[in-house]
Amino acid sequence: MVRIDRSLCVAQAPEVLFHLLCDPLRFPRLFKAFSKVEQISADARCVGARYLMLVRVGRSEAGGVQRITDFQPPYRIAWTSERGVELSAAVSIRPVGSGVSEVRVELAYAVPGWRPAGVIVERLTRHVVDRHMHATLLTLKRLAEFDLETVADTERQRP
Amino acid sequence: MLAPKRVVHQRLARLTDREIDLDARDPAYIRSMLPLTWLLASLYFRAEVRGLERVPKDGPVLFVGNHSGGNITPDTAVFLLAFNTHFGVERSLYVLAHSLVTSWPLLGKWLERWGTLTANPLAARRALDAGACVLVYPGGDVEVHRPWKARYRVDFADRTGFIRLARQARVPIVPVVSCGGHSTYFPLTNGRSIARALRLNRLARLEVMPISLALPWGLNIGDFMGHIPLPAKIVVELQEPIDVAERFPRDEDTPRATEYVRLRMEEALVALSAERLSPL
């Protein structure tokens, strides 16, 4: 099991940050790490909503069907895998004063299959996934602090 | 070996508007060197350049880059090759370099033929006003010698002159993000405290005294003689242009504009690093 924990301070209110993070369907447009996200349940943005999420890792895409297990605007969203890579993730947002919030991402995953190969893959992919998370947090910071209008434009152009 | 104090200072002192020689760039020479550069970039560094289509088709552009690899920076060679083959050697591109680099007698002359100018706001402005493109590395010696643990950081060393330059010349900034250069050797420390103790900033405008592990020296102090870079894969990605004059028009916006460019570049650098499973 690989566990990764990253956090970053962003000069923006939790409500704005949660708005950027609450809809997984936006992720491929906003964050480079996500190659594909599809909604596969009737419900969206609530506990029980299910999404197919894929992330680029090395030469392939990894991920699977994720179900939202916790949805507390504007402070926390968490999901766990139903199919594919065994994964659980949570994003927590907490105000740390004077218009600044701390965004924390916690991720745990395990690669299925033959264990010796799985251990090697987990060791190799740990840094890749960690850098994906780091890049995603930096993108979130840039969007929240500088480019909210760009996000709004993208939303308007959405089919 | 350090360049003598008086050589550096004399060179900087005589860098006047009249003596910034834009004509020293030699397009015919650059064209003749492209095949060799292609072999080095493609076979040794497996170089990949993305996003050249984001560069405005004509007119001056201020390229703002991050660079890595100590005094042997493969990023610059890879970008020069890509630019000159994509747009042709007729479209002028000048690279700003530290005065210590351009002060070396033979090396300085050779780099001038490639379009290298001693880093100076006046030189950059002259080139942009002449309709040329300029590549600047704001982080300079501080960034290029940053330690291994900071290899995925973009460090402008608190320099903001490039923002004012873009605003005053009314040219777009195109960020040029390079990944892989810091895997061509193993920098242990940039030695800023050693440089301060030796007063290198006063003597030679050097803010660092890097210590690294590099071929063929082993322990490499200062990197003044360069080193043999390891064959790491170099990826250069150009980002969307930023219109500084429009987005950050006032002088007091300069720190915010600098942070915006830095954040855009670091975000892209970390994303590029996530594509590689091993440093090489």
Q: Residue A156: pLDDT band by 50, 70, 90 thresholds?
A: confident
H or E stretch covering A72: strand A60-72
In a domain, A88, yes or no: yes
The single residue listed with the structure tokens 């924990």 is A5
Interchain CB distance below 8 Å, A131 and B263: no
Residues 251-270 of B with CB under 8 A from A: 260, 263-264, 266-267, 270
Residue scoring higher pLDDT (B9 or B129): B129
Three-state SS at B222: coil
Instruction: Report the distance separating Cα A4 and Cα A23, nearest Å.
Output: 22
Average pLDDT over residues A13-38: 93
DSSP tag of A13: -
Of B271, B276, B277, the CB nearest to A135: B271
In a domain, B83, yes or no: yes
Closest CA of chain B from A40, distance in Å: 28
In a domain, A96, yes or no: yes
Residue type, A9: C
pLDDT higher than threshold 90 for residue B15: no
Interchain CB distance below 8 Å, A132 and B152: no
In a domain, B278, yes or no: no
Of A56, A125, A135, the CB nearest to B267: A135
Closest CA of chain B from A94, distance in Å: 22
In a domain, A158, yes or no: no
Q: Considering chain A, what percentage of its residues have pLDDT values greater than 90?
A: 74
Per-residue pLDDT of B159-216, as tens digits, reads: 999 999 999 999 999 999 999 999 999 999 999 899 999 888 888 888 899 999 999 9
Residues 6+ apart with CB under 8 A from B172: B56, B61, B62, B166, B241, B242, B243, B244
pLDDT, averaged across chain A? 92
- Domain containing residue B246: CATH number: 3.40.1130
> How many distinct helices (H) and strands (E) make up chain B?
12, 10
- Domain containing residue A84: CATH number: 3.30.530.20
Residues 6+ apart with CB under 8 A from B215: B185, B227, B228, B229, B230
Domain that holds residue B190: 5-273
8 Å CB contact between A44 and A54:
no
> Residue A89 is encoded by which pair of tokens?
């993730």
Interchain CB distance below 8 Å, A142 and B263: yes
Give the dihedral of Cα atoms B37, B38, B43, B45; nearest 10 deg. Answer: 60
Find the length of chain A: 159
In a domain, B51, yes or no: yes
Lowest-confidence segment of A126-135, B24-33, B204-213 by average pLDDT: B204-213
In a domain, B42, yes or no: yes
Of A58, A134, A138, the CB nearest to B263: A138
Q: Residue B277: pLDDT band by 50, 70, 90 thresholds?
A: confident
Average pLDDT over residues B114-124: 93
Radius of gyration of chain A (CA): 16
- The pLDDT value recorded for residue A84 is 79
Interchain CB distance below 8 Å, A33 and B152: no
Cα three-residue angle B201-B202-B203, rounded to 5 degrees: 95
Q: Residue A59: pLDDT band by 50, 70, 90 thresholds?
A: confident
8 Å CB contact between B143 and B66:
yes
> Residue B92 is encoded by which pair of tokens?
């002028």
- The pLDDT value recorded for residue B13 is 43
Residues 6+ apart with CB under 8 A from B55: B61, B87, B174, B238, B241
- The pLDDT value recorded for residue A117 is 92
Residue scoring higher pLDDT (B87 or B12): B87
pLDDT, averaged across chain B? 91
In a domain, A157, yes or no: no
Strands B173-179 and B235-238: antiparallel
Residue type, B39: L
Phi, psi of B218, rounded to the nearest 5 degrees: 80, -110
pLDDT higher than threshold 70 for residue B19: no
Closest of A12, A28, A6 to residue A92, by C-alpha: A6
Closest of B259, B187, B266, B205 to residue B2, by C-alpha: B205
What is the domain count for chain B?
Answer: 1
Chain A residue numbers with beta carbons less than 8 Å from the beta carbon of B263 are 138, 141-142, 145-146
Interchain CB distance below 8 Å, B263 and A141: yes
Of B260, B263, B271, the CB nearest to A32: B271
- The pLDDT value recorded for residue B212 is 95
pLDDT higher than threshold 80 for residue B263: yes
H or E stretch covering A142: helix A115-145
Q: Which of B20-24's residues contact partners 24+ apart within 8 Å by CB, and which partners?
A: B20/B117, B20/B120, B20/B122, B20/B123, B20/B126, B21/B112, B22/B92, B22/B94, B22/B117, B22/B126, B22/B127, B22/B130, B22/B132, B24/B112, B24/B113
Residue scoring higher pLDDT (B58 or B13): B58
What is the domain count for chain A?
Answer: 1
Domain that holds residue A82: 2-151
- The pLDDT value recorded for residue B16 is 55
Count the Cβ atoms, other than its own, within 10 Å of residue B103: 20
pLDDT higher than threshold 80 for residue B47: yes
Residue type, B136: V
Instruction: Report the distance separating Cα B208 and Cα B141, nearest Å.
Output: 7
